[in-house]
Amino acid sequence: MNRLRLLSFNIQAGIESRRYRDYVANSWKHLIPHSGRQRNLTNIGALLRGFDIVGLQEVDAGSLRSAYIDQSQYLAHHAGYPYWFSQVNRELGHLARHSNGLLSRIRPGSVTEHKLPGLPGRGAMVVEFPTSAGEGFAVCVLHLALGRRAQRRQLDYLIEVARHYRMIVLMGDFNCGCGSRMLRAAIAAAGLRGLDCELKTFPSWRPERNLDHILVSPALRIRGAQVLDYALSDHLPISMEVELPAGVCLMSADTGFVVPA
């Protein structure tokens, strides 16, 4: 009752990529809708069904290119998640609505959106779940910038967010891996665990870089982590099973009853 199965996935707005040249061949799919996108999203939805909380990056929140479908909502319905949220970080009118997303089988107590430092368009969403211990368990879904200067500022910001919680998970597309001294320094400063250089997620057709991570506070026990071989985007999804401290369980925000995880 105190274990959670987590998944983080950059879904590239539902576009399937199998080689580098697809970035050029599929560029039009970032602008207008196409039937293959919905088929790919349905396949992604089937993958998500085995998890308790899912963090999504590069989601479209409803624009021309997604046929005005909020992809977080679409995946929540197809995968059977009663709770879902979209954080729009880059609004391009009818053309695109770049977002982070979260799907949950457990009702959260609160959702807080953060605009990350740097140029507009990057954000983090902190979702807090009540626990039997009377303190919140937080999940932060994030997507960092590509530039190192912006990454440094954004990691510093997230360290301060993490320090407010004894039990927190940070998961998403960090756009940097084990070779980043900034990332290692941030993880050490926040006391986080879970960085694994062997969990390579990018590119999905030949994973060579570990850009996607699930990091947890020391109070949480990691039961296992892996990259899933489902090449439905240009990133592979990464999963982790975590265990809350002894005697601590998640609770439903509306009823107060303990929810089996």
pLDDT tens-digit series, residues 182-192: 999 999 999 99
Domains identified in the chain and CATH numbers: 3-243 (3.60.10.10)
Dmax (CA) for the chain in angstroms is 53
The alpha helices in the chain, defined as continuous H runs, are 22-25, 35-48, 71-79, 148-162, 181-190
Helices (H) and strands (E) in the chain, counts: 5, 11
* Whole-number percent of the chain with pLDDT over 90: 74
**How confident is the model at residue 261, as a pLDDT?**
36
Residue 204's pLDDT band (cuts 50, 70, 90): very high
Neighbouring residues of 3: CB distance < 8 A, sequence distance ≥ 6: 223, 241, 242, 243, 244, 261
**How confident is the model at residue 254, as a pLDDT?**
54
pLDDT score of 170 more than 80? yes
The alpha helices in 49-131, defined as continuous H runs, are 71-79
pLDDT, tens digit, 9 for 90 and up, residues 2-18:
899 999 999 998 878 77
For residues 31, 35, 40, 46, the Cα torsion angle rounded to the nearest 10 degrees is 130
**How confident is the model at residue 107, as a pLDDT?**
93
pLDDT, tens digit, 9 for 90 and up, residues 44-69:
999 999 999 999 999 999 888 888 88
pLDDT, tens digit, 9 for 90 and up, residues 115-164:
999 988 899 999 999 998 888 999 999 999 999 999 999 999 999 999 99
